[in-house]
Amino acid sequence: MRKFVWLIFLLTLPLSLMAQKGWYRDKTDPQPTVNPDRTVTFRYYAPGADTVEVNGDFLSKAERPALMKNNGNGLWEYTTSAPVRPEVYTYSYIVDNQKVLDPLNMFVWRNISDLYNIFIVPGERTENYQIKDVPHGTVSSVWYNSPALQMNRRMMVYTPAGYENGRRKYPVLYLLHGMGGDETAWLDFGRAAQILDNLIAQEKASPMIVVMPNGNPSQEAAPLENSTGYNLPQFYLPKTMDGSFEESFTDIFSYVEKNYRVIRKKSARAIAGLSMGGFHSLYISALYPKMFGYVGLFSLAVAAQEEYKDVPVYRDIDLELKAQFEKNPPLYWIGIGNEDPLYQDVASLRKKFDLCGYPYTYYESEGGHVWTCWRIYLEEFTQLLFK
């Protein structure tokens, strides 16, 4: 039956591989290479190219993109000038001004309509982003009907290990993505399932259900998962900040309360989001002040767009916040990076809260408007929930 193995080999040998030469053929090491001193070496084989560059969020702004050096055999190399801080990074190559992915790295995340290769520099901070040999929750792609938006829509739901074969009821965190993202963003870039699995296994976070809806009201689901077929999505989808997501939120809420074993109490419900998702969380939690005990605003956009200022959910925010804080929510958490362009807007919001006497927990990190911050905020925030 060796014949079978040989046949299958020929049959499934990627077409692409056959067209490749030299260095590539036997290469199976992870790319790029994280060296023992935590510098990182990138390699790209392109004998005919004039220039090859590497680009990504591991480089400082001044270094971006970094020119690679041809070693004479068609293999271009670049090693970072200093050790790279442990983190998950995204990168791509630019060959003669053409952006391409790394053919030797199959680990790719999608953001909006662009793909990025990823690599990890292991360290303390990235420990919880990795899949470990701990009990794992279930991640489900679930469709619910939204009468408010008049469509079937997809959301991702994390149920903690033990949910399937138990009877226990759980608290729920609703976790919202930013502009240009969709229901998969927190799972890919955000490592939400890994962070929850690991924090729960370490008994640092309470076992909880995490609901990740799609915050783009014009969209049923992420690209390739919706009935519009194989079209590229727009970056600026319509209706993202016009109040319709906030108002349709009860459709998500009703589905979850009906179909999952949840604790039906304000003290067992949290909502959090990043950027536009922080904006959504601010207004949803104020609009439905009996719903959420815990609120997390990560690098949030604060004010409504001019053209939608008179939508009730935005227009009445001050009254709504007053009502919300009169009920003493157990945790109102605001996190932002010290280089975030939204820093001043958030500072103004905090000032308003201080004036009004609304208590909140403030977490300021290094960094800008990036996933590096949001993963950390998720880790910090989830450890404070449902205690």
Judged by CB under 8 A, the chain residues 58 through 97 that form the site for a second copy are: 64-65, 92, 94-97
Decide if residue 328 touches a second copy (CB under 8 A).
no
In the complex with a second copy, the residue whose CB is nearer, 226 or 285, is 226
In the complex with a second copy, the residue whose CB is nearer, 236 or 362, is 236
284's CB contacts (< 8 A; 6+ apart) are 246, 249, 271, 291, 292
Decide if residue 356 touches a second copy (CB under 8 A).
no
**Nearest approach, Cβ of residue 58 and a second copy (Å):** 11
Decide if residue 114 touches a second copy (CB under 8 A).
yes
Decide if residue 273 touches a second copy (CB under 8 A).
no
Q: How far apart are CA 120 and CA 175, in angstroms?
A: 24
**Nearest approach, Cβ of residue 21 and a second copy (Å):** 5
Are residues 183 and 213 in contact, defined by beta-carbon separation less than 8 angstroms?
yes
DSSP-derived secondary structure for 54-123: EEETTS-GGGPSEEPEE-SSSEEEEE-SSPPPSEEEEEEEEETTEEE--TT---EEEETTEEEEEEEE-S
In the complex with a second copy, the residue whose CB is nearer, 7 or 347, is 7
Decide if residue 323 touches a second copy (CB under 8 A).
no
Q: How far apart are CA 268 and CA 292, in angstroms?
A: 8
In the complex with a second copy, the residue whose CB is nearer, 48 or 357, is 48
DSSP H stretches of helix in 163-275: 185-188, 192-201, 244-259
The radius of gyration computed from the CA coordinates of the chain, to the nearest angstrom, equals 23
- What is the total residue count of the chain? 387
Decide if residue 136 touches a second copy (CB under 8 A).
yes
Q: How far apart are CA 230 and CA 52, in angstroms?
A: 31
**Nearest approach, Cβ of residue 330 and a second copy (Å):** 29
Q: Which of 229, 264, 355, 357 binds a second copy (CB under 8 A)?
A: 229
92's CB contacts (< 8 A; 6+ apart) are 54, 55, 56, 99, 100, 101, 102, 116, 117
State the number of binding residues for a second copy (CB under 8 A): 105
Decide if residue 311 touches a second copy (CB under 8 A).
no
Decide if residue 301 touches a second copy (CB under 8 A).
yes
Range 276-295, binding a second copy (CB under 8 A): 276
Decide if residue 209 touches a second copy (CB under 8 A).
no
In the complex with a second copy, the residue whose CB is nearer, 282 or 331, is 282
Q: Which of 38, 39, 57, 380 binds a second copy (CB under 8 A)?
A: 57
| Phi and psi, residue 14, nearest 5° | -55, 135
**Nearest approach, Cβ of residue 145 and a second copy (Å):** 9
Q: Which of 86, 103, 289, 330 binds a second copy (CB under 8 A)?
A: 103
Amino acid 224 reads: L
> How much helix, strand and coil, in percent to the nearest 5, is found in the chain?
30, 25, 45
Decide if residue 5 touches a second copy (CB under 8 A).
yes
Binding track, positions 7-36, relative to a second copy; x by CB under 8 A: xxxxxx-xxxx-xxx------xxx------
Amino acid 258 reads: K
Range 137-196, binding a second copy (CB under 8 A): 137-143, 151-152, 154, 161, 164-165, 178-180
Q: Which of 47, 123, 147, 312 binds a second copy (CB under 8 A)?
A: 47
CB atoms within 10 A of CB 53: 21
Range 242-271, binding a second copy (CB under 8 A): 258-259
